Amino acid sequence: MKPYGLKKEEVSGLLVEGKFTIAVYGLGKMGLPLAAIFADNGANVIGADVNENVVRGINGGINHIREEPGLDELVERNVKRKRLRATTNLKECAKKSDFHIIIVPTLIKDNKPDLSIVNSVSEEISYGLEKGDIVITECTMPPGSTEDLIPILEKSGLKVGRDFGLGHCPERTMTGTAIRDITGRYPKIVGAIDEKTREALEGIYSVINSKGVISVSDIKTAESVKVFEGIYRDVNIALANELTTVCEKLGIDAMETFKTANTQPYCNIHTPGGVGGHCIPFYPYFVMDEDTKLIRTAREINDSIPEKIVNMAEDALKEKGIEIKNSEILVLGITFRGNVKEIIKSPSIEIIHILKLRGANVHVYDPLFEKNEIKSLGFDYSRNFSNIDCLIIATDHEEFKTYNWREIYKEMRNKILVDARQVVNPEEMRRLGFAYRGLGHV
């Protein structure tokens, strides 16, 4: 039985009985947790991915997403139950499935959306699409992009809104908390091409999400919800970064000011800092044009933070009579966010590049990366604090919060500490004797 045209309750019941096959295209940090959760709730799930090693591992019950608590057990359990399997053959996957969920990367190239992967997957789906199927995009899409897939999908000879359904149900997850996010941290957003699709989408997602489903008017609205969530955060962080500059000129502590201002319920100033990852830095470009001046300015402000951090380090060096050229600088952390092994658009990487351009001898340490991994990125691996002129905390890893800073102070040659992520206590660092500089602190 195919889902298109069935009522919500029918779809939910058939899913938990294992009567539907769900294809999940893309088994990355968001796709694999989603596939495993659907399988755990009774669905027959086929995961499709172009990476043969990923597919081989999953079919052996092995999870390749290391940062996701609980996913090891979820994958192993559902592979053993024969509810979850993986393949590199997207066409065959499409032929065997009732729901087709696309959750692959949506990229930015030259500050413009690049949906080539989504289009390619849609082409593969069209070869196996059957009457009564439903196609869903979960990856973040520029508003209007899901419906742009219609001509590709209709190469199947079927007509959307008559023979098959189409919807957008954006993922609202973060690396490291994907299982929690998918199953009930936030409601699921559903945008559908028609009422029949909406019923079916509410049916499958209400099974796996304890917070329920919010159905919006149409697909473009659903696409905009996710994009706007990311833009809101980007603009708010840019505001925090600009207000931090104001606080520096006033000689007051930005973090203290923000924390106090945020006790008023209508105020929610974010934490200042660089913005990275595969989401927030990219979403503004999904809607950016000549009319989106605030969004464009926010992007420029946030992209400028790595240079600001380097300037802080250079100024501190100059105060000690040291030129940044040929100085020894150790950068702690290369990931865009603490405790998550991901370097896409990482401000830390940009900090390193700027330091090198200014002639510094840069050394790098990150607890999530092996020595050979750091070296493969073209960086000098070191966790030795001796002979270091300046230490830059570029990522807020938990490990850095546990360091014995008294001992580190003793080891360093010139005791300059720049904290780009509010990891250490400024007063304590100054008491120890560090020449301290920190984003958000005076």
Catalytic machinery residues:
226, 279
Residue 416, strand partner residues: 390, 435
In whole angstroms, give the CA distance from residue 124 to residue 90.
6
Order of strands across the sheet that contains 213-215:
84-87, 44-48, 21-25, 99-102, 134-137, 165-168, 188-192, 213-215
Alpha helices in 149-292 (DSSP H): 150-153, 178-180, 195-208, 219-250, 254-261
Alpha helices in 212-357 (DSSP H): 219-250, 254-261, 293-303, 305-319, 347-357
Q: In terms of C-beta density within 10 A (0-12 exposed, 13-18 middle, 19 or more buried), how is residue 93 classed?
A: buried
**348-367 as b/e: b if 16+ CB within 10 A:** bbbbbebbeebebbbbbbbe
For the record, the structure tokens of 103 come out as 């959750």
In whole angstroms, give the CA distance from residue 96 to residue 98.
7
For the record, the structure tokens of 168 come out as 């957008």
Q: In terms of C-beta density within 10 A (0-12 exposed, 13-18 middle, 19 or more buried), how is residue 296 classed?
A: middle
In whole angstroms, give the CA distance from residue 310 to residue 329.
11
Q: Judge contact between 280 and 216, C-beta under 8 A.
A: no
Task: Calculate the CA 428 to chain-centre distance.
Answer: 33
332 sits in which H/E element: strand 328-332
